[in-house]
Amino acid sequence: MIKLDKISKKYFIGQPNELEVLKGLSVSVDKGEFVAIVGQSGSGKSTLMNIIGALDRPTSGNYSLDDIPIREMSDNQLSEVRNEKIGFVFQTFNLIPKTSALHNVEVPMFYLGVPKKQRRARAKELLQMVEMGDRLEHLPNELSGGQKQRVAIARALANNPSIILADEPTGALDSKTGRLVMDLFHKIHKEENKTILLITHNEVLANETERIITLKDGEIISDSSHKTVFTKGTTYDF
């Protein structure tokens, strides 16, 4: 599903200086995997997420998603890939402030051209799934952090993407609320067979996934599959 081959990313910060953030990464992720990408600040994990999410292009190397060569695409084509194939969940929620929870979830479907009646029904269904069915008309400022993140997860699922990219999704939440959000990711992974990439600096969270890819200074230093140690109901210091 996801295949990165010798991906590098460089930023030019003034001739002749350049900053190489990713240094020839090669990695593949299969359909239905739940993978954590971990590393300290500056390791390159956010840059890698941006490339996987088609938000940025590599300086060199090849990236294919469902056998589609992403690097060769135009900006409009990349936008279509993001909208159809990838659902994003961010630490800061990124909800539209003056728009209800229901309408926030509808937005990706609007850009895909889904008819109003159909996208309204889908949005309600997803909000029910994340236990936000009683908050359909609430604005983001009327919701708690955990409720906002659940709306964001429902929005990420709106167009039935094959991949969910979650960037520090519990980083702005307390431990109890973070636990609820992680339980929801496990439910989505198990019941809908979504490919989930969890970007985190938290090794405890990473150990709940099936596979951990560790970055350091723009390189993969380990890539290990393991039996998850997740126990539902456990609370952690997120």
pLDDT tens digits for range 81-125: 999 999 999 999 999 999 999 999 999 999 999 999 999 999 999
What are residue 60's DSSP bridge partners? 8
Q: Which domains does the chain have, with CATH numbers?
A: 31-58+75-225 (3.40.50.300)
* Confidence label for 143 from pLDDT (cuts 50, 70 and 90): very high
The 10s digit of each residue's pLDDT in 159-169 is 999 999 999 99
Taking residues 73-79, report their average pLDDT: 91
- Give the residue among 44, 40, 52, 35 at the shortest CA–CA distance from 224: 35
Helix (H) or strand (E) holding 8: strand 2-12
Instruction: Name the strand (E) or helix (H) holding 118.
Output: helix 116-129
Q: How far is CA 33 from CA 62, 69, 115, in A?
A: 21, 21, 32
CA distance 150 to 132: 7
Distance in angstroms (rounded) separating the CA atoms of residues 176 and 112: 35
| Mean model confidence pLDDT for the chain | 90
List pLDDT tens digits, range 11-60: 887 766 788 999 999 999 999 999 999 998 889 999 999 999 999 999 99
Distance in angstroms between the alpha carbons of the first and the last residue of the chain: 30
Beta strand pairing status for 195-200 and 34-38?
A: parallel
Residue-level pLDDT at 237: 46
Give the residue with greater pLDDT, 234 vs 68: 68
Residue 185 structure tokens: 């990711």
Q: How far apart are CA 168 and CA 197, in angstroms?
A: 10
Residue keyed to tokens 């099936």: 210
